[in-house]
Structure 1
Amino acid sequence: MTTPTFNRLSLPSNDNVNPYVFCVDLDGQWFTQKGKMIAYYGQIRFEALSAGPLDALVAAHFHSPLYAHDWIVAQGRGKLLLADRGFDVNSYDLTDGNLTVRAGNLLAFEPGLDLKQSIIPGFLTLIGTGRFIAASNGPVHFVEPPIRVDPQALLGWADCPSPCHHYDHGYMRGVLGMARSLFGVGGTSGEEHQFDFTGQGTVLMQSSETVMDTDTMLRDLEGQIGMLGVGGLQRLQSVIAQRLASERQ
Structure 2
Amino acid sequence: MNQRFSIDEFIKQTQQEDKGEGLFELETPRMLEVNLDGEVWAKMGSMVSYRGAIKFEREGVLEHGLGKLFKKALTGEGTALMKANGEGKLYLADQGKKISILHLNNEAIYVNGNDLLAFQPGLDWDIKLMRRVAGMMAGGLFNVRIEGTGMAAITSHYEPLTLLVKPGSPVYTDPNATVAWSGNLQPDFVTDVSLKTFFGRGSGESVQMKFEGEGFVVVQPFEEVYYSEQQS
TM range (shorter): 0.7 to 0.9
Which of 159, 163, 170 is residue 143 of structure 1 equivalent to? 163
Letter in 1 for 2:96: G
Partner residue, 1:6: 15
Gap regions ≥5 residues in structure 2: 131-140
Tell me: CA distance 1:108–1:215, structure 2 relative to 1, closer, same or farther (3 Å): farther
1:21-36 equivalences under 5 Å are: 21-36=31-46
Partner residue, 1:156: 180
Structure 1 contact 158–203 (Cα < 8 Å) conserved: yes
| Displacement of 1:187 | 5.1
Letter in 2 for 1:136: S
Which of 204, 223, 227 is residue 209 of structure 1 equivalent to? 223
Letter in 2 for 1:31: W
Partner residue, 1:123: 143
| Displacement of 1:42 | 0.7
Tell me: CA distance 1:24–1:71, structure 2 relative to 1, closer, same or farther (3 Å): same
Structure 1 contact 142–204 (Cα < 8 Å) conserved: yes
Structure 1 contact 23–82 (Cα < 8 Å) conserved: yes
Partner residue, 2:50: 40
Letter in 1 for 2:85: Q
Q: Percent identity?
A: 27
Residues in 2 aligned to 1:112 and 1:215: alpha-carbon distance in whole angstroms: 32
Residues in 1 aligned to 2:224 and 2:44: alpha-carbon distance in whole angstroms: 20
Residues in 2 aligned to 1:207 and 1:90: alpha-carbon distance in whole angstroms: 15
Residues in 1 aligned to 2:61 and 2:213: alpha-carbon distance in whole angstroms: 41
| Displacement of 1:216 | 8.0
Structure 2 contact 177–224 (Cα < 8 Å) conserved: yes
1:96-115 equivalences under 5 Å are: 96-115=106-125
Partner residue, 1:188: 204
More strand by share: 2
Structure 1 contact 122–216 (Cα < 8 Å) conserved: no
Tell me: CA distance 1:45–1:186, structure 2 relative to 1, closer, same or farther (3 Å): farther
Residues in 2 aligned to 1:110 and 1:186: alpha-carbon distance in whole angstroms: 36
| Displacement of 1:22 | 0.8
Residues in 2 aligned to 1:204 and 1:160: alpha-carbon distance in whole angstroms: 14
Structure 2 contact 145–183 (Cα < 8 Å) conserved: no
C-alpha offsets along residues 50-88 of structure 1, whole Å, 9 cap, x if unaligned?
289xx5xx46xx973234861111010111101011111
1:83 maps to 2:83: no
Letter in 2 for 1:82: L
Aligned residues: 196
Residues in 2 aligned to 1:25 and 1:74: alpha-carbon distance in whole angstroms: 11
Residues in 1 aligned to 2:172 and 2:157: alpha-carbon distance in whole angstroms: 19
Structure 2 contact 125–144 (Cα < 8 Å) conserved: yes
When the two structures are superposed, what TM-score results if normalisation uses the length of structure 2? Answer: 0.74
Structure 1 contact 139–207 (Cα < 8 Å) conserved: yes
Tell me: CA distance 1:23–1:6, structure 2 relative to 1, closer, same or farther (3 Å): same
Residues in 1 aligned to 2:193 and 2:93: alpha-carbon distance in whole angstroms: 40
Tell me: CA distance 1:111–1:84, structure 2 relative to 1, closer, same or farther (3 Å): same
More helix by share: 1
Gap regions ≥5 residues in structure 1: 173-184, 219-249
| Displacement of 1:154 | 0.4
Superposition RMSD on alpha carbons, in Å? 2.8
